[in-house]
Structure 1
């Protein structure tokens, strides 16, 4: 057993853990002071000494680690990781058979039984993301388990646990053959250019797959589209392929322009027929109002936290005001696609922001449809924060 220590859990947290809650919260532990090294295996007991589960110590967000098994005879050894990853692969077997989509998630943290770890598939390459030094301590076992279960060209990793707030930007390559980047993958028949070796992000957020398909198939035809916080322009590409009259992509990052041009070009779209603007989204809203620009379809997909020279945005506090700015430049009967990956509130509260924004601007609305995470992003009902994605298609009446 790897550095296993007994940790006592307060009674008011123990029942929740026994019932399936996977996060080990700092406040739950009576003797947290004995934790000394991330990666320690934890034998969790309640105040009466009864077994709760086994997990590991790894500081991540508000947690001190994750419960990974409630079977007393199950250890975090090689066979354990093979069993967990093997089960996850079976759940995604249909994705491997779908030639129109060659990028998806094969392991989604606590949803697949091991919090702090995700594994994504990109056209025969795999990317492991480590969210704490604790789970990274099991790298060799996890890597060997994956290698025993899949055929692969190469494996990359993303270390996302630097407490300084900066990505650990060393060589992301792990084993196999190095990829030639950009490499092309497909999503519902649309091509994406991805880079597995350029920091924490690869060029596409896989959790928005269903939303992009809906835009292309049902919302874009003949419409003018504004894509804010556009990153590499994925929503714009799907809108253009869905017959949009014109798309406008806005993002503050300088890299957004060449990345968006690249995504348009590999799909045979004339990027010069569309607008790609490198500027603060909040300044663009002011510009659009001043120039009396309006759009049939507006995509709002901001990061949970964003900062520019003039503005700070927090999804927890500022989403309602962001919606109000979008409402002002959305045509009558136009649609706003409001999205957030902030895990601190649920769909109900998010819809509350929508209601308040429309009420304060004096407009009526109708929710056309809503989305959460796609099926490869498996979640567990006991940990609601894991089902972080909330997307609402709102018609301005």
Structure 2
């Protein structure tokens, strides 16, 4: 079943959600509008422009309880992990598989645990391979290249470069094994999502540019596409946000999104530097553009998100998804090292990957299994 990567219905639900305690309405509104802008621009970059590089920043924050976590400047205050939990809840409520989402959440948790207190300069590599074409995934992967940085006055943060590529899983494993010998056991998209590799800064690897060269990319990091896209598209994104403020119908929001995509496709060569003499018109009447361009569905393209990664609020992640009546549902096989995810309230007698019975202790007479997690 093909599911759209950008679900417009989420935007008004999130925008009009209750204001978190302790924060002003103005601050939360600014964050939520920034989140819509950022999501649309990143979506356009991947799905409509097919750009190779982008850049994201995550702030390192510490709450009153002394807990350190990663926070996005464009999301509601609090750990980014909350977004992953919502994604899992959204799919779980609809009876959809959550294997990838649980693995992704686990992988991000590992990144957070290992990097928030790491020395400045520490790096990481995290691979997200595509899921099935039936679910709308494309053929490309994203290798997230990450480095701990510190800016004067801003404090510590993570600089993240999503690098789009079509490397085989063998090539990706080879890159990872150089830094993490356990990567030889990562043979599926779920294994890779659940296991980011940490890279200590060295003479050979000082910056993310060094990692980009190491993994075989000949192009230099460049996000000039954003400088061309942003002024061209911002009035239309502003019009979309106004519709969200007005609680417009999903039909009207979808029409606006289609218009933004179709308008962008008409300017694609300019943004990618292929058209040296473009006839540009910077539109400042978004609703006129929505009417002109919004009645045609843009071409369907596969991408990294087979389903919307957003949803309504849920119970806590650990209680609902990572644990059940038998305990933790996620564990590594002691034989092959790969990540296993048990079905809820069911036990495993063998590894889901290599078939080893070392994942359990089996008492045949009583038909009971005790997990070795």
TM range (shorter): under 0.3
Q: Which has the higher contact order (CA 8 A, sep 6+)?
A: 2
**Greater percentage in helix:** 2
